[in-house]
Chains A and B, each alone.
Chain A
Amino acid sequence: MSENKVRIATCSLAGCFGCHMSLLDIDERLFGLIELVEFDRSPLTDIKRCGPCDIGIVEGGVCNAENVHVLKEFRKNCKVLVAIGACAINGGVPAMRNNIDLWDCFQEVYCYEGGLECGQIPNDPELPLPFDKVHPISEVVKVDYFLPGCPPSGDAIWKFLTDLLNGREPKLDYEMLHFD
């Protein structure tokens, strides 16, 4: 582990991993990026717990108790916390269930014909407690920067990260800023 490299952690909460896929979309620039940074907890490293980091990047909103636990661990360990993507910023598509009763939602998914679990709602104690609403991460922890998009493009992520790594206030061109 290099002492000089910026340490980054990433995670996905209530999201689809699309923002992480978009991170990979920065393509060959990843080789340049890896000269500057190293990854702590991330789906890219499969490290399970977040250690002390410079930048934490969080995709997805907060929909259950485990999300809160992970998010608080990130906030505690990361000097700068970035909310990436619509779900982390305003709940995104998962928040479409906010106007539906949670029990009705589970029944629709698991119990009705064509459901996932043949009429049984999963009830293992290891499953995290679901919340009745999906929340943006800023409603749980302080967030330093927001990078909108569903997902933000690889170019937007690259611009944002390189601004941040070079000590500039991140700024997106018009065509890089979108909410969808």
Chain B
Amino acid sequence: MSKTITIDGLAVPFQEGQTIMDAALASGVYIPHLCHNPEFKPHGSCKLCTVNVNGRNVASCTMPAVEGQQVLSDIAELNADRLALTQMLFVEGNHLCPACEKTGNCQLQAVAYYLGMMSPHYNHFYPQREADASHPDVMLDRNRCIYCELCVRASREVDGKNVFGLSGRGIKTLLVVNSASGLLGDTDLAVTDKAAHVCPTGAILIKRHGYAVPIGQRVFDHITIKDVQTGGGDE
């Protein structure tokens, strides 16, 4: 007999060892997230997946599911916090969607759409960040990095290479690569590596594939990230 938690009043079954996020995704319940990807160990950094469990706010991607938990997720208060976090991500980087190859297929953008973000609200930081085009097949544009560490985890856990890492703290955090020169072209990253394909934004792009899909046919042009990630359809 499976154990269950309750998410927004819905009974959601889980197996021992699953997180609240694992159980939610397995049952088609969407909890907004950016740094989480079921293929990798949880990171718990973006905080978009914060839910209220028995009166306490926790990251659902790292909190184990426990029998009888009463979870609130899709409520106005938490969605307002998620919107504010997403807006902060937009102003802390240089996210110029009209000029980005990832637009239409970008998870940061899609989460913003899902949350009804009409503007970044906060004053922009316009940080100085370097792009790195030294690799023959992969482009690194730090302007769009949201520090989710998915490339770090993919490189370490799947590719076995440790190409990427985060350096520094707070606003000075920087996505770095593991080569003496500091250039991506001098690492052993291959275009076939998982790390080259896992970025939720346009920070890591495959060269010579830009704007391959016309506007109107891209992933999030018609379908919300909720439906993409839960396999749902129009409601």
Contacts and interface: CB of A to CB of B under 8 A. Distances in A.
A138 to B, nearest CB: 7
Contact of B119 (A89, A92, A96, A135): A89
Nearest to B224: A174
A89 B120 contact: yes
A178 interface: yes
Contacts, number: 74
A89 B98 CA distance: 12
Nearest to B91: A90
Contacts of B126: 91, 95, 98-99, 133
A179 B109 contact: yes
A175 B120 contact: no
A36 B222 CA distance: 32
B96 A96 contact: yes
B103 interface: yes
Nearest to B143: A99
Interface stretch (A23-31, A38-46, A114-122, A142-150): A142-150
A86 interface: yes
A136 B221 contact: no
A111 interface: no
B contact face: mostly helix, strand, loop, or mixed:
loop
A92 B153 CA distance: 32
Given A89-B119, A89-B120, A148-B118, A178 B113 contact: yes
Interface in B62-99: 90, 94-99
B128 interface: yes
Interface of B: 90, 94-100, 103-104, 109, 112-113, 116, 118-121, 123-124, 126, 128-129, 143, 215, 221-222, 224
Interface of A: 83, 86, 89-93, 95-96, 98-99, 133, 135-136, 138-139, 143, 145-148, 150, 174-175, 177-180
23 contacts: A86-B98, A89-B120, A90-B90, A91-B126, A93-B96, A93-B99, A95-B126, A96-B96, A98-B94, A99-B126, A99-B129, A138-B119, A138-B121, A139-B123, A139-B124, A145-B118, A148-B119, A174-B222, A177-B116, A178-B221, A180-B97, A180-B103, A180-B104
